[in-house]
């Protein structure tokens, strides 16, 4: 095409006379694309629709005392005062191991004390489990919470301690009932949450 012809000049990108245009892949290319997508779907990550069923296992028989109070209730039959406003006269550095808790099969990622009384504590681990433990008396594992497909990254109680929230590498945050082990609600933003906490307001 002559460049002097201003109206008819199309530049160096004009197609050849025997060149054909195609708006979609050829049959051979479509086969390659379909094979690739099938392989990606087969080996790709599971979608968040494939949710794990939450459950809890209670390991103690005496869930309630003779007055009908659960293990969340602050005990009063100890040789220490667990009142929030109590301040000991003297504090000492620990010099010996009092007790070693065993139950998780992988490394721990967080430990949280029960609010105010600290007569219980929560632990979460890379084994995807959350456990509630006694601090005094028999120091038993009270309950195990299962609901994350991957390692649990963080946990936190609310003010009362009757609820706690967890987050894991499965991109889920879950709200739990501490006493019953029921998962009340689950949240996800499709990102890994590294810490989680209740708003104090």
Residue 127 lies in a domain: yes
Domain span at 154: 54-75+107-201
Residue 48 lies in a domain: no
Residue 96 lies in a domain: no
Residue 118 lies in a domain: yes
Number of structural domains, the chain? Answer: 1
Q: What percent of the chain has pLDDT over 90?
A: 58
- Using alpha carbons, select from 159, 199, 191, 155 the residue that is nearest to residue 174: 155
Sequence-distant (6+) residues with CB within 8 A of 127 are 104, 105, 106, 151
Residue 144 lies in a domain: yes
| CB burial string 137-160: b at 16+ within 10 A, e below | eeeebbbbbebbeebbbbbbbbee
Q: Which CATH number characterizes residue 189's domain?
A: 2.130.10.10
Rounded to whole angstroms, how far apart are CA atoms 44 and 58?
36
pLDDT per residue as tens digits for the range 155-186: 999 999 999 999 999 999 999 999 999 999 99
Residue 49 lies in a domain: no
Positions in the chain short of pLDDT 50: 47-48
pLDDT per residue as tens digits for the range 136-160: 999 999 999 999 999 999 999 999 9
Phi-psi region of 41 (alpha: psi -120 to 50; beta: other; left: phi over 0): alpha
The confidence score (pLDDT) of residue 193 equals: 95
Kindly report the pTM of this predicted structure: 0.72
Residue 172 lies in a domain: yes
Residue 131 lies in a domain: yes
- Using alpha carbons, select from 143, 150, 102 the residue that is nearest to residue 128: 150
């Amino acid at each position: 095409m002559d460049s002097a012809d201003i109206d008819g000049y199309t530049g160096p990108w004009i197609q050849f006379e025997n060149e054909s245009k195609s708006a979609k892949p050829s049959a051979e290319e479509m086969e390659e694309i379909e094979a690739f997508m099938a392989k990606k779907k087969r080996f790709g990550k599971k979608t968040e629709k494939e949710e794990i069923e939450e459950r809890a296992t209670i390991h103690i028989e005496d869930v309630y005392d003779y007055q009908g109070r659960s293990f969340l209730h602050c005990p009063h039959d100890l040789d220490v005062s667990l009142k929030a406003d109590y301040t000991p006269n003297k504090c000492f550095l620990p010099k010996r191991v009092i007790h070693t808790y065993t139950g998780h099969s992988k490394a721990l990622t967080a430990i949280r004390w029960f609010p105010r009384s600290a007569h219980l504590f929560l632990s979460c681990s890379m084994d995807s489990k959350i456990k509630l433990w006694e601090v005094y008396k028999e120091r038993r594992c009270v309950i195990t919470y299962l609901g994350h497909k991957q390692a649990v990254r963080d946990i936190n109680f609310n003010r009362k301690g009757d609820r706690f929230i967890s987050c894991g590498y499965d991109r889920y945050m879950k709200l739990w009932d501490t006493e019953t082990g029921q998962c009340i609600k689950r949240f996800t933003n499709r990102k890994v949450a590294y810490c989680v906490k209740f708003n104090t307001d």
